[in-house]
Amino acid sequence: MCKILGMSAVYSEDAIRTLDWKEHIRRRPGMYIGKLGDGSSRDDGIYVLLKEVLDNSIDEFMMGNGRQIDITISDNEVSVRDHGRGIPLGKLIDVSSKMNTGAKYDSQVFKKSVGLNGVGIKAVNALSTRFNIKSFREGEVKAVDYSCGNIVNDYAIEKTTESNGVLTEFRPDEELFGNFRYLQEYVEILLRNYTFLNSGLTITLNGQRFVSKNGLRDLLNEYMNAPGLYPIIHIKDEDIELAMTHGLQYGEEYYSFVNGQHTTQGGTHLIAFREAIVKTIREFYNKNFDAADIRSSICAAISIKVEEPIFESQTKTKLGSKDMGPEGPSVRNFITDFLKKHLDDFLHKNSEIAEILLQRIHDSERERKAISGIKKLAKERAKKANLHNKKLRDCRVHYDSKHERRLDASIFITEGDSASGSITKSRDVDTQAVFSLKGKPLNCYGLSKKIVYENEEFNLLQAALNIEEDMDNLRYNNVIIATDADVDGMHIRLLIITFFLQFFPDLIKNRHLYILQTPLFRVRNKKKTFYCYTEEERQKAVKEVGATHEITRFKGLGEISPDEFVHFIGKDIRLDPVHIKKGDSITDLLEFYMGKNTPDRQQFIIENLRIEEDIKD
């Protein structure tokens, strides 16, 4: 008889229990909103909460009800007021607190809805310390107040003079989300996307107005950092809209949507588009171009509307549906037929654009062939290096897996043995990898992609990230630059950012690149220890610990012991996202900071120079 280890608990009927809806959501929030987060990343849960409430209002607009949505965010309190039909008053409690309850199961009422499972708003309710909902409908109003999913006040139906619609107010639970904050930039991206996809809809955020007249054409004009090689091609038909152009950047850039939902991880519709664009272009020019040459430097946005879409998770970031609806064509055939007809017609009618596109394909082909030889050798070197690669200390969970913690998958890019050693000993081996650079990387501004394969550091880095072909197989959701907070560290940071901007800009555009913030000071006495990231925090800590204290100035990551480092890369990790602001030109940025315009840069440094005096206690 064998001995079973670790079975001290008795497995009986008493060990089996059923969680109620709100307890299940609070215990397993990742199933409903992805990761929790504090708002520093655009896929953090607090933005999903806002989106779940907004989706209901957007669905009303898509059904022809309510042309304006008003949002207020103040002190982490969120208010959303739409002007749709309003929830039937007698069902307000059911809709807001009973799982798998909603009108979206009736395809005649919400034929091509964003939310389908009757879950979203219940998750917001359960994960908020305050959740108040009011429905205004035909001169009457019904309101219910909740806290963490529990009813606090159930108000009687009253008369009202307000217009039809729903007012939802909530505050995410600090116990779950920590010291969170809504970043204006991320909220604006969410709202702009809603208006790009719903021409005629007006959304206000704290009085700021968002509206779009030209749909996905406006979206590309908003997000592209340089003009395309040819005017944006903008074509649409029932249930589909497309905008596209080509540029001079490396890689492919896509914005894909289903029923107004931003599918940041793509899905069957994006796969179908990437295949269909190749097929259509080949047939138009009657040339068997390599698919990579056709799609190189493309920037495109595609939106489709699907009946009863199937997403791969409750957060709806990847479409799994293979068909447009129960009786509709396949997604692949629908998109292929659309491009074959409309894009082919457009190119026949616009010969100048067709000629520019052809030239871009030829340019991409020439560059690809120029590096094909060294590319094979570089792949072999990277493969051999991975067998005994001291540069990469990998983790167990990756971004391209379906693991519950996939969004936490991170890689720290460090420089030097001491820094990488401290992080390696402190990290979560499940979700945190470490890549160690050897000295300063090359300034690659103005160089061709050939250098990525010729330079060992760059070649191994792109192999570690798995981004050589495209971003689809990126292995880490968070790519974190971890360098010292001194002149050399800042220079290394800038060189790494230059590498990504030059060759893999989508990594930054898709918000995967971050800077690790580590404390500059440690202030402590025998009873208390404070880690301070700014001079202001240091001064506050000195007052807190009193007259007898010790101050340590951390000059490098290697000076921070692994026992201390674990505090800075754990749940309280501080990350600054690297992003490109609207209107920034990648070419201009690289030219100014990394080019040969020495006098201009010298003047910039002089005007922005800050001299810090030695610390005096």
Q: In three state form, how does the secondary structure of 460-499 look?
A: HHHHHHCCCCCHHHCCCCEEEECCCCCHHHHHHHHHHHHH
C-alpha pair distances (Å), 334 with each of 240, 272, 348: 9, 9, 21
The answer to which of 87-91, 114-118, 207-211 has the lowest mean pLDDT is: 114-118
The answer to which of 19-28, 137-146, 404-413, 535-544 has the lowest mean pLDDT is: 19-28
Cα gap 124→170, rounded to integer Å: 8
CATH 1.10.357.10 fits 216-367, yes or no: no
pLDDT of amino acid 7: 45
Task: Outline which parts of the chain fall under CATH 3.40.50.670.
Answer: 389-518+554-608
* 501 three-class SS: helix
pLDDT of amino acid 384: 60
Cα gap 604→606, rounded to integer Å: 6
Q: Is 62's pLDDT higher than 90? A: no
Fold classification of 21-187 (topology level)? Heat Shock Protein 90 (3.30.565)
Average pLDDT over residues 337-357: 94
The beta strand positions in 122-214, using DSSP E, are: 128-137, 140-147, 150-154, 158-159, 165-172, 202-205, 208-210
Q: Terminal CA-to-CA distance of the chain, rounded, Å?
A: 69
Q: Is 356's pLDDT higher than 80? A: yes
pLDDT of amino acid 11: 56
pLDDT band with cut points at 50, 70 and 90 for residue 298: very high
Cα gap 421→562, rounded to integer Å: 8
Cα gap 165→84, rounded to integer Å: 5
Residue of 69, 73, 75, 24 lying closest to 49 (CA atoms):
73
Which residues on neighbouring strands pair with residue 19, listed in sequence order? Answer: none
pLDDT of amino acid 167: 96
Average pLDDT along the chain: 83
Task: Outline which parts of the chain fall under CATH 3.30.230.10.
Answer: 216-367
* 306 three-class SS: coil
Task: Outline which parts of the chain fall under CATH 3.30.565.10.
Answer: 21-187
Cα gap 177→139, rounded to integer Å: 38
How would you classify the pairing of strands 550-553 and 529-532? unpaired
Residue with tokens 């779009």: 212
Average pLDDT over residues 368-377: 75
C-alpha pair distances (Å), 564 with each of 212, 376, 423: 49, 43, 10
pLDDT band with cut points at 50, 70 and 90 for residue 314: low
pLDDT of amino acid 69: 96
Cα gap 10→284, rounded to integer Å: 69
Alpha-carbon 46 to chain mean position: 13
The answer to which of 49-58, 332-341, 368-377, 598-607 has the lowest mean pLDDT is: 598-607
pLDDT of amino acid 581: 67
pLDDT of amino acid 104: 47
Q: Is 528's pLDDT higher than 70? A: yes
Give, to the nearest 10 degrees, the angle between helix 351-387 and helix 268-285: 120
pLDDT band with cut points at 50, 70 and 90 for residue 401: confident
Cα gap 96→125, rounded to integer Å: 7
| pLDDT, greater one: 268 or 316 | 268
Residue of 157, 153, 137 lying closest to 83 (CA atoms):
137
In degrees, to the nearest 5, what angle opens at C-alpha 42 toward C-alphas 475 and 169?
Answer: 145
pLDDT band with cut points at 50, 70 and 90 for residue 157: very high
- Give 454-476 pLDDT, tens digit per residue: 888 888 898 899 888 777 789 99
Cα gap 274→286, rounded to integer Å: 18
Q: Is 404's pLDDT higher than 90? A: no
**Residue 177: what are its φ and ψ, rounded to 5°?**
-100, -5
Q: Which CATH number fits domain 389-518+554-608: 3.10.620.30, 3.40.50.670, 3.90.180.10, 3.40.50.300?
A: 3.40.50.670
Query: What type of residue is 456?
Result: E
Under 8 Å between Cβ of 331 and 249? no
Which residues on neighbouring strands pair with residue 68, listed in sequence order? Answer: 202
